[in-house]
Amino acid sequence: MAAEHILDRVLAGQESIQSWQDELYVHFHRNPELSFVEHETHDRIAEELRAIGVDEIEEHIGGTGLVGVLRNGDGPTILMRADIDALPVQELTGLDYASTAVGTSFDGETSPVMHACGHDVHISALLGAVRLLADHRDAWSGTFVALFQPAEERAGGAMAMVNDDLVGRIPRPDVAFAQHVGPKPAGQVHACIGSAYSRADSIKVTVFGRGGHGSAPHTTVDPAVLAAMIVLRLQTIVSRETRPGEFAVVTVGRLQVGTKVNIISDRAVLDVNVRSYDDDVHARLLAAIERIVRAECEASGSPTEPTFEYYDRFPVTVNDVEVTERVRSAFASAFGDHYVEDLPTTGSEDFSEIPKAFEIPYCYWNVGGVDRETYRDAKKRGVLASEIAGNHSPFFAPVMHPTLQAATKTIVVVALDWLGTEA
Amino acid sequence: MAAEHILDRVLAGQESIQSWQDELYVHFHRNPELSFVEHETHDRIAEELRAIGVDEIEEHIGGTGLVGVLRNGDGPTILMRADIDALPVQELTGLDYASTAVGTSFDGETSPVMHACGHDVHISALLGAVRLLADHRDAWSGTFVALFQPAEERAGGAMAMVNDDLVGRIPRPDVAFAQHVGPKPAGQVHACIGSAYSRADSIKVTVFGRGGHGSAPHTTVDPAVLAAMIVLRLQTIVSRETRPGEFAVVTVGRLQVGTKVNIISDRAVLDVNVRSYDDDVHARLLAAIERIVRAECEASGSPTEPTFEYYDRFPVTVNDVEVTERVRSAFASAFGDHYVEDLPTTGSEDFSEIPKAFEIPYCYWNVGGVDRETYRDAKKRGVLASEIAGNHSPFFAPVMHPTLQAATKTIVVVALDWLGTEA
Amino acid sequence: MAAEHILDRVLAGQESIQSWQDELYVHFHRNPELSFVEHETHDRIAEELRAIGVDEIEEHIGGTGLVGVLRNGDGPTILMRADIDALPVQELTGLDYASTAVGTSFDGETSPVMHACGHDVHISALLGAVRLLADHRDAWSGTFVALFQPAEERAGGAMAMVNDDLVGRIPRPDVAFAQHVGPKPAGQVHACIGSAYSRADSIKVTVFGRGGHGSAPHTTVDPAVLAAMIVLRLQTIVSRETRPGEFAVVTVGRLQVGTKVNIISDRAVLDVNVRSYDDDVHARLLAAIERIVRAECEASGSPTEPTFEYYDRFPVTVNDVEVTERVRSAFASAFGDHYVEDLPTTGSEDFSEIPKAFEIPYCYWNVGGVDRETYRDAKKRGVLASEIAGNHSPFFAPVMHPTLQAATKTIVVVALDWLGTEA
Amino acid sequence: MAAEHILDRVLAGQESIQSWQDELYVHFHRNPELSFVEHETHDRIAEELRAIGVDEIEEHIGGTGLVGVLRNGDGPTILMRADIDALPVQELTGLDYASTAVGTSFDGETSPVMHACGHDVHISALLGAVRLLADHRDAWSGTFVALFQPAEERAGGAMAMVNDDLVGRIPRPDVAFAQHVGPKPAGQVHACIGSAYSRADSIKVTVFGRGGHGSAPHTTVDPAVLAAMIVLRLQTIVSRETRPGEFAVVTVGRLQVGTKVNIISDRAVLDVNVRSYDDDVHARLLAAIERIVRAECEASGSPTEPTFEYYDRFPVTVNDVEVTERVRSAFASAFGDHYVEDLPTTGSEDFSEIPKAFEIPYCYWNVGGVDRETYRDAKKRGVLASEIAGNHSPFFAPVMHPTLQAATKTIVVVALDWLGTEA
């Protein structure tokens, strides 16, 4: 029996698990939890892994992380990772199962919460794949490690698991995988060779003015004006200081000045997100930000030095050439036209900390989540960017089908390519 | 016996009430309450008025406003107003009796609270003056109305009292007075003829971008950039569109964009405070703001029209010429060198709604609150603006003495000038 | 015979000189000359003074300045000054007699030239008044000094005359006068007590980038971006650092970056004009400009310190109280409704250097130049600012009548008030 | 005899032509001429071609363009192009032979002139190669066309030659070549496959304010402020509206506002240079510029629509894969370590119009011009960008040796690879 036949046989099981998987997805979507406080999510995943009957469950690795292991005789060990946290975004999708959750982050901020990055797809797909593999132990041989990682959005989840002795607590994999859902046609998959996700740093910049009454600006140093100058100056790092065509992003994601309209505040806080593929470029971006902020403070006559707090620091994600070529070949065969070649995404990921801890190669791929018809139509009308909501948007809403099936299938395809018993 | 003698006699009582008044001041300073929710402040004032033995108390006018009346035979009726609300500011004065209060505003926002505008001085001074006048009924004849107004900071308190039938519920005054403490030498007083406080409007401007992932700016319309352009453009209304020397202020007191560093938000909110003395100028300021905001939204390719919500609208405060000349003359005689002539303040006040409701003239004066030595030294070193905290600053800290005595004395001086029995 | 009668008698002569004066005006308007190079203007004025028959002419004081003296018996000596230079502006008025002149400035720049500030009105009015006074020597007694000053626009003309021994070369006046035409209704006059014209400084600011190819911004420091940041930052000096209602102007009148679209230049030049009435304010404006420019250069990573060249420095013009009250009273009587009280102008003048050299008081007044109907209509429609061209505009076009008559009459009124023989 | 031997033999002639070639280079460097007016350059090239003894000279193609042809029996025809115009830049290199020329452009602007883009290297190298090939006719067979093109810097020179019947006036080539000198180590060469030079457009943007006196900004619409806002907004096209990593450049190379410090002008002129490799990106850049400019004019209350004049439009330069691989292989063999692979340049070129007219493939390569020691040292100290002047800089100064030899050698290497008689 050829590999294709095994794959077909295992995938045939998708139909029977669909209502269970849909329900799981809706559950996670309705009950999103912020980074590092995914307590109920952790427990529900553990419960499902137990119901599926995995051979081992290792809970509470790095707080809310956990791992399920299917041991199935000799053969390689592969690891698939799903991230499980949600974002402080108020859902505006209008879906039946839209989130109305409000949560408090580990550092004390309360906000609406939404799976605006699709991690609910990742969880549901990985649980689905585990169930299919558990149901078809005859089709493969080796060890399959399903890793559910917390706090990807805050960059710390992977390291939290590593620092909590991940390497000592789970079987050592030969290779690691992860995937992400995004604003491409549902069912479509692609995997980049080399740089797949950018390096990223976040900086909380606090600049100081001198507070006072809104009617007496001359007695103050206005932090709103200072912050505005900084935001515009920061634009020139990419537009003027970076080689045209070099990947570099400087985003002010959050900007907070003042509490009351007629009080001029004594400070402004800018949260700046910086991305690149190249280390030298990265160093120059960070230096330029500090130079600009300091000089703009001087231009305002700021009475106090600005402060810079670095956080959420993501490594660059570089897919292994050999592993990725094997993944691409498996996808090309299994997905046909739906396998495409595409640009690396602009985002960042901390997944690579996990294979780095094991010193093993990895591949990170992408799956689409937009209704195909809708996508085709928006593309034809040239409104992809404006009408198709991307990750982190309050409108981000993967269509359930065939997104879940495809995201489950990718895992099964790769697992059987590495572990399949027949060729 | 001459007027001076009466005044001296009444003011001689200040010494005996000092410890009571200091304690009152510290109490109010430690227990600040936000606009419209000054419940405990209201109750404590009522309690003190009862203890003093005023002839009438009218409580809960416009929610948390109240009035105490001293009726003392024939003669004019004069009204003195003190405002009683505090601000959402976190106190940084380091005083023993600094506020650590946290409060929730009537519209649901929770924040630290501080008497950063000195209304605690106003309350304590008015209660002190009422006590002195009650203790020396032989020195004057007529009616003294002590009005405690809520929510001056939100511009609505005076109108709330007026709308709650203030005119029908208290004796009709012939003239009305109010005062404010500010960053001038303690003990110093001044009163402007004509425009004393500016007209003010606040506008909550919401502009819309298109949200998305921080790493994919090209799929978004970045509201942080849009807000920054608006803040800078707004500066040009005063610098380029207003006649040099014309009073005009456009302050962005609050600016909020986004919740998370790697999410580009779909909107920015700017709270803009606008002030002028002149009505035409005011109309042009408001028109310019709307023009600029709309055009900047277009420049950004904003997908949605901006919105403008007007609130906290203050009238202009114009001191009556005749009344103010009489006040100035009484001050000159009673305060000597400490009476000065000064520029109108740049701030705004809703006090004038009260005399307007009675169709009577009014005078609003100012008293200093800064230690004289400190002030003199800062002036000599040319650092007044940087070292002397103004109203609404988290460092605003009137020295207790002689600020309270002087603020009490102003009321007594004016009361006896209008109501004194000897001349 | 009363003073009114003398005045009426002298002014009756206006009719007979009108065609001569109109022709003079058209001549000067058509033949404008730039500051310090008003050679033909000088010669034509001298020729006219000779034709009128003044008693003395002193030519070439400070280059192209000159003075005509009418000596007429005992009595006070008064000085009236007219400035004679034009501007590097291309006239767009469409008038029959519009200037098409091109001239070269004393520092070597060639440009179109236009009397865009109305100095042609000043010359023609002063020559007209001299002629009327010369024709009616029986109506007055004393000495009338007509001073024609070069280079007012470059601030150096008055000092050039003073430095060329003006004091030693002309009769010593008891009082000095000057006037300016502006965008008010023709025939209207006003005179401010106290500050009448602002102090002004001009600064040539040169900031340095690093030049390079337009396609390689990352190898350069872009001076266009640097200059733009500076222009916007400078707006905040007036909008945020100056007390609301305090007179202060910071204008970037000229901004030059680069020569070719695909070359990033190595510098930008900003010509900045700064005005105030108050000396402290002035010092703070200049300090703020230097602080901002230096810090913005640092923010850009500029390789070289910026340079600041100060030029065209104008003193503040402060009308003497006593003299001005006398002028106002004469105007009120002679102009009736057309005498108004108005705000000081925002402009600057070097005239005061002349009375300062003689240590005498002075008054500087204003006359209107806009067709009354046009003005009234524009005011009604609220389009004064947009439809009525101000001084220095390429569209600035005083209507010949009654502008010339009124500007001539002001001089005669003041001269007879000081020198008239009957009362 | 192998190809290497032929090449060595021909290149051996470099020594004997060196002093002639150096002198030529110095001559052209000292006598730069602006685009379309390279009259003396044209004549001197023609004179040299005659002295060398080429078989045909076709002069005045497209004004100041010309072609020299070496016919040498059967074989392919290849075309090598050198561009010959200089730039309006004032040379600051301090070289002995620095240009002090001043010239007037075809559209009437006078300015200093400099070979700041190294076209003098291109001319001298091509003349050198023609001389070597003419001296060694036994080493090759076929036709060599040396084309000297005017006005590359203004984008119009290649089209001017094409429009002047270039195709009909010279032998039809099978393939075309061109080269450029830049800020890389002298002697180094590289050739990109595919996109080698960007598409470029220049736009003269005129925006309108309302002029007036510098002291009366409220009567004007200030074009300096408007221009500054536009310059900053334009930065966001690359920083926010373009996919990170996509090649896009928006440079404001020239910005002109006003003529005199105390006149607010009625307009600003911005010359904007736009570059990309991708057509869709290009369309979006142009649309964004127009959107931003129009909206900023509205924000300023501009009285008149802005105007956009497009000029100097360069096509994208895409090197033919097959031809370029052959060139790279020839370079690798002839230059050894000095042949490197590098990124495409960010600049633009109109050369491709010529092969496009003949419908033939082409390759455009780059040679370095910086002293190797200097380059190595600057690189080690991390100051390449700041210390090594790039093209169009007033400090751009290729070292004569080995730059000229290497630039000559590239042509000989490619010519013999296509036309060499032995292999």
Q: How far is B240 from chain D (nearest CA, A)?
A: 5
Least CB–CB distance from D239: residue in A238, A247, A346: A238
Residues A209, A186 within the same domain? no
Least CB–CB distance from B299: residue in D222, D246, D292: D292
Burial A358-371 (b: 16+ CB within 10 A, else e): bebbbbbbbbbbbb
Least CB–CB distance from C385: residue in D218, D266, D348: D218
- Apex CA C391: angle with CA C389 and CA C397, to 5°? 55
Least confident of A261-275, B204-218, C93-107, D187-201: D187-201
Tell me the percentage of chain C whose pLDDT exceeds 70.
98
Comparing alpha-carbon positions, the chain D residue that sits nearest to A346 is: D244
Residues A278, A366 within the same domain? no
In a domain, B397, yes or no: yes
Q: Which residue carries 């199962």 as its tokens?
A: A97
Tell me the percentage of chain C whose pLDDT exceeds 90.
81
Does residue B386 have a pLDDT over 80? no
> Binding residue per annotation — C119?
yes
Average pLDDT over residues A31-36: 97
- Apex CA D51: angle with CA D50 and CA D56, to 5°? 25
- At A343-371, the pLDDT tens digits run 777 788 999 999 999 999 999 999 999 99
Domain with residue A386: its CATH number is 3.40.630.10
In a domain, D331, yes or no: no
Chain D, 226 to 245: residues with Cβ < 8 Å from chain B are 229, 232-233, 236, 239-244
Tell me the percentage of chain A whose pLDDT exceeds 70.
98
Residues B52, B172 within the same domain? yes
Residues B41, B154 within the same domain? yes
- pLDDT value at position A312? 87
Say yes or no for a CB contact (<8 Å) between B236 and C240. no
Residues D84, D120 within the same domain? yes
Average pLDDT over residues B24-39: 97
> Binding residue per annotation — C180?
yes
Q: How far is A329 from chain D (nearest CA, A)?
A: 27
- pLDDT value at position A1? 38
- Strand locations in B22-95, DSSP E? 56-61, 65-72, 77-83
pLDDT, averaged across chain B: 93
Residues A66, A180 within the same domain? yes
pLDDT, averaged across chain D: 93
What is the spatial distance between Cα C160 and Cα B105, in angstroms, rounded to a whole number? 66
Q: Which residues in C lie closer than 8 A to residue D386 (C-beta atoms)?
A: 210, 303
In a domain, A91, yes or no: yes
Chains that touch B (3 or more CB pairs under 8 A): A, C, D
Mutate to test the interface with C, among D263, D379, D396 (most CBs of C within 10 A): D263
Q: Residue C306 to residues A124, A316, C202: CA-CA distances in angstroms? A: 61, 40, 16
Does residue B248 have a pLDDT over 80? yes
Token duo for residue D322 = 């097959």
Does residue B342 have a pLDDT over 80? no
pLDDT-based confidence at residue B3 (cuts at 50, 70, 90): low
Chains that touch A (3 or more CB pairs under 8 A): B, C, D
Question: What secondary structure does DSSP assign to B75-103, as a single string?
Answer: S-EEEEEEE--BBS----S--TT----EE
Q: How far is A391 from chain B (nearest CA, A)?
A: 6
Least CB–CB distance from D89: residue in C222, C254, C263: C263
In a domain, B370, yes or no: yes
Residues B187, B278 within the same domain? no
Average pLDDT over residues C340-349: 79
Whether a cis peptide bond, with omega within 30° of 0, leads into B402 is yes
Does residue D166 have a pLDDT over 90? yes
Q: Which residues, 6+ apart, have CB-to-CB distance to D12 below 8 Å?
A: none
- pLDDT value at position C212? 87
Residues C134, C14 within the same domain? yes
Q: Rounded to 5 degrees, what are φ and ψ at A64? A: -110, 15
Least confident of A335-344, B183-192, C168-177, D408-417: A335-344
Q: Which residues in D lie closer than 8 A to residue B229 (C-beta atoms)?
A: 229, 232-233
In a domain, A133, yes or no: yes
- pLDDT value at position B381? 82
Mutate to test the interface with A, among D195, D197, D239, D243 (most CBs of A within 10 A): D239
In a domain, D334, yes or no: no
What is the spatial distance between Cα C216 and Cα C26, in angstroms, rounded to a whole number? 54
Does residue A422 have a pLDDT over 70? no
Q: Which of D313, D330, D350 is the last residue of a domain?
A: D313
- Chain A touched by D250 (CB under 8 Å): yes
Least confident of B115-119, C49-53, C168-172, C347-351: C347-351
Residues C18, C155 within the same domain? yes
Burial class of B204 by CB neighbour count within 10 A (0 to 12, 13 to 18, 19+): middle
Q: How far is B2 from chain D (nearest CA, A)?
A: 55
- At A215-248, the pLDDT tens digits run 889 989 999 999 999 999 999 999 999 999 999 9
In a domain, B75, yes or no: yes
Does residue B422 have a pLDDT over 90? no
Among the listed residues D38, D85, D120, D201, the single catalytic one is D85
C-beta of residue D307 within 8 angstroms of C-beta of residue D186: no
Angle of the C279-300 helix axis to the C223-240 helix axis, nearest 10: 150
- At C79-119, the pLDDT tens digits run 999 999 999 999 999 999 999 999 999 988 899 999 999 99
Domain with residue A274: its CATH number is 3.30.70.360
Say yes or no for a CB contact (<8 Å) between D218 and B241. yes
Does residue B1 have a pLDDT over 50? no
Token duo for residue D47 = 């004179």
pLDDT-based confidence at residue D1 (cuts at 50, 70, 90): very low
Tell me the percentage of chain B whose pLDDT exceeds 90.
81
- At B63-97, the pLDDT tens digits run 999 999 999 999 999 999 999 999 999 999 999 99
- pLDDT value at position D132? 97
Among candidates C371, C351, C369, C370, which has minimal Cα distance to C361?
A: C351
Residues annotated within the binding site of A are 117, 119, 153, 180
- At D269-289, the pLDDT tens digits run 999 999 998 889 999 999 999
Q: Could you tell me which residue, A379 or A302, shows the higher pLDDT?
A: A302
Q: Which residues in B lie closer than 8 A to residue D244 (C-beta atoms)?
A: 215-218
Residue span of the structural domain in which D33 resides: 4-192+342-419
CB hemisphere CA count around B89 (13 angstroms): 33
Q: Which residues in B lie closer than 8 A to residue A235 (C-beta atoms)?
A: 225
- pLDDT value at position C342? 77
DSSP B337: G
Angle of the D14-30 helix axis to the D119-135 helix axis, nearest 10: 150
Question: What is the tally of structural domains in chain C?
Answer: 2
Chain C, 161 to 220: residues with Cβ < 8 Å from chain A are 215-218, 220
Q: How far is C378 from chain D (nearest CA, A)?
A: 14
Does residue A2 have a pLDDT over 70? no
pLDDT-based confidence at residue B12 (cuts at 50, 70, 90): very high
Q: Rounded to 5 degrees, what are φ and ψ at A19? A: -65, -35
Among candidates A118, A61, A108, which has minimal Cα distance to A86?
A: A118
| CA of residue C127 relative to chain centroid, distance | 18
- pLDDT value at position C130? 98
pLDDT-based confidence at residue C1 (cuts at 50, 70, 90): very low
- pLDDT value at position D422? 64
- pLDDT value at position B62? 95
Does residue D266 have a pLDDT over 80? yes
Does residue D383 have a pLDDT over 80? no
Residues A235, A133 within the same domain? no
What is the spatial distance between Cα D322 and Cα D182, in angstroms, rounded to a whole number? 24
Does residue B191 have a pLDDT over 50? yes
CA dihedral B5, B6, B8, B11 (to 10 degrees): 180
Judge whether D152 counts as a catalytic residue.
yes
Does residue C273 have a pLDDT over 60? yes
pLDDT, averaged across chain C: 93
Does residue A32 have a pLDDT over 90? yes
pLDDT, averaged across chain A: 93
Residues D31, D87 within the same domain? yes
- At A150-196, the pLDDT tens digits run 999 988 899 999 999 999 999 999 999 999 999 999 989 998 888 88
Does residue D100 have a pLDDT over 80? yes
In a domain, D13, yes or no: yes
Average pLDDT over residues C130-136: 97
Among candidates A209, A226, A206, which has minimal Cα distance to A263?
A: A209
- pLDDT value at position B147? 98
Residues C304, C360 within the same domain? no
Does residue D2 have a pLDDT over 70? no
Angle of the B39-52 helix axis to the B14-30 helix axis, nearest 10: 160
Burial class of A333 by CB neighbour count within 10 A (0 to 12, 13 to 18, 19+): middle
- pLDDT value at position D3? 63
- At D110-129, the pLDDT tens digits run 899 999 999 999 999 999 99
Chains that touch C (3 or more CB pairs under 8 A): A, B, D
